[in-house]
């Protein structure tokens, strides 16, 4: 069986799609099935794949490249915010089964399976089309292997360490603004800041590392990120793929909207009582909201409640469920 995964990520697109593609690849690998992962990227993604093989192809805007890459594929898994409807149609035509991961009904998808793990997403926004089957809800949240089978996060009496992560892109120099604010309001905490390979604002690094309470980590593997989460008491995170990993781990989180395509996911995390609403990165009062959010998490009982809510929302078995329904369909066709 040949499986091709098409995804994207990098300096301008973020890295959440890549993390999701890695998770799906690991799900098939557990079943003894190899995947060919094709990534349209402009950065080195070695920290994501950690020894797994991936191929760098600029496929998003090229129908001919898509036809070449998917030739003879049984299953094509597609995860993109930038590819056109035409490209998706080619994927659907050239595979026995096309699988699309979506977060906000970006386009009208052609024949195949569509997965959306958002709980707050309304199924009514998706058109009922012959040949398209939808799978909704957090039961299908694809997480990397490190977050599948884990023990609950220990909730300590006091907050001492804060985990801060906003992905590989920081166009607004948002991290520096947040850290200046946090070091002023919560100077007694220790901070672990994680940035990706696309983060290249060296001036921000220089200013932040002057503080003994701040440690900056760059281009970490999933295992290294997991270890930093385990050491932390609370997190401040963008509402992309990482907030799903934080919910699974049960680390109470202040969630911040940094891109419009995260809106449904952040709403899911807030409505489920896992995340505290940290506002939108573009709002003038976002720093005040983040400070208020951390204040809400000061109570150990509140952190315990939110930790349990996160683990109830995402149980870590989403990839296995996705792979199960995909392979069952392949048996049928």
CATH class, range 150-313: alpha beta
**Mean pLDDT for the chain overall:** 90
Question: Under a CB-based contact definition with an 8 Å cutoff, are residues 101 and 76 in contact?
Answer: no
- CATH 3.40.50.2000 domain span(s) along the chain: 150-313
What backbone torsions phi and psi does residue 8 show, to the nearest 5 degrees? -150, 160
pLDDT for 120 equals 57
Residue 56 confidence class, pLDDT cut points 50, 70, 90:
confident
Residue 238 confidence class, pLDDT cut points 50, 70, 90:
very high
pLDDT for 47 equals 73
pLDDT for 125 equals 74
Mean pLDDT of 231-243: 95
- H, E, C per residue of 185-199: HCCCCEEEEEECCCC
- CATH 3.40.50.11190 domain span(s) along the chain: 3-146+316-332
Distance CA 6, CA 96 (A): 15
Residue 203 confidence class, pLDDT cut points 50, 70, 90:
low
* Range from 252-261, 295-304, 307-316 carrying the lowest mean pLDDT: 252-261
Residue 122 confidence (pLDDT) above 70 = no
If DSSP codes are grouped into helix, strand and coil, which group holds residue 170? coil
pLDDT for 104 equals 81
Instruction: Please state which architecture CATH assigns to domain 3-146+316-332.
Output: 3-Layer(aba) Sandwich (3.40)
pLDDT over 90, % of the chain: 65
- E strand or H helix at 321: helix 318-332
pLDDT for 44 equals 79
- Model confidence pTM above 0.95: no
* Range from 253-257, 259-263, 321-325 carrying the lowest mean pLDDT: 259-263
Question: Quick one: which of 89, 150, 199, 142 has its CA closest to 321?
Answer: 142
Winning range, highest mean pLDDT, from 13-17, 113-117, 199-203: 113-117
Distance CA 235, CA 96 (A): 42
Question: Quick one: which of 1, 6, 230, 200 has its CA closest to 98?
Answer: 6
Question: Under a CB-based contact definition with an 8 Å cutoff, are residues 307 and 136 in contact?
Answer: no
Q: For residue 235, count CB atoms less than 10 angstroms from its CB and return exposed for 0-12, middle for 13-18, buried for 19 or more.
A: buried
């Amino acid at each position: 069986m040949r499986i091709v995964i098409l995804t994207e990520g990098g300096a301008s697109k973020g890295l959440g799609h890549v993390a999701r593609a890695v998770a799906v690849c690991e799900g098939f690998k557990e079943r003894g099935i190899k995947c060919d992962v094709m990534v349209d990227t402009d950065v080195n993604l070695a920290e994501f794949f950690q020894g797994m093989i991936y191929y760098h192809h600029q496929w998003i805007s090229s129908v001919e490249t898509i036809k070449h890459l998917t030739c003879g594929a049984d299953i094509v898994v597609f995860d993109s915010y930038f590819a056109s409807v035409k490209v998706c149609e080619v994927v659907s035509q050239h595979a026995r089964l096309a699988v699309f991961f979506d977060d906000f009904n970006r386009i009208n998808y052609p024949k195949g399976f569509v997965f959306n793990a958002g709980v707050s997403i309304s199924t009514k926004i998706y058109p009922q089309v012959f040949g398209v089957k939808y799978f909704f809800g957090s039961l299908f949240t694809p997480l990397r292997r490190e977050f599948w089978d884990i023990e609950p996060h220990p909730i300590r009496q006091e907050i001492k360490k804060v985990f801060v992560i906003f992905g590989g892109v920081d166009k607004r120099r948002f991290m520096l603004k947040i850290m200046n604010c946090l070091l002023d309001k919560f100077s007694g905490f220790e901070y672990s800041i994680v940035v990706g390979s696309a983060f290249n604002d060296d001036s921000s690094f220089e200013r932040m590392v002057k503080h003994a309470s701040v440690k900056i980590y760059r281009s970490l593997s999933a295992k290294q990120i997991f270890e930093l989460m385990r050491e932390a008491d609370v997190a401040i995170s963008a509402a992309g793929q990482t907030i799903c990993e934080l919910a699974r781990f049960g680390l109470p989180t202040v969630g911040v909207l940094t891109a419009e395509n995260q809106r449904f996911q952040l709403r899911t995390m807030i409505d489920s009582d896992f995340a505290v609403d940290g506002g939108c990165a573009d709002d003038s009062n976002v720093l005040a909201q983040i400070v208020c959010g951390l204040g809400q998490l000061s109570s150990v009982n509140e952190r315990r409640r939110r930790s349990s809510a996160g683990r109830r929302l995402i149980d870590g078995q989403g990839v296995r469920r996705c792979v199960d329904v995909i392979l069952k369909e392949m048996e049928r066709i």
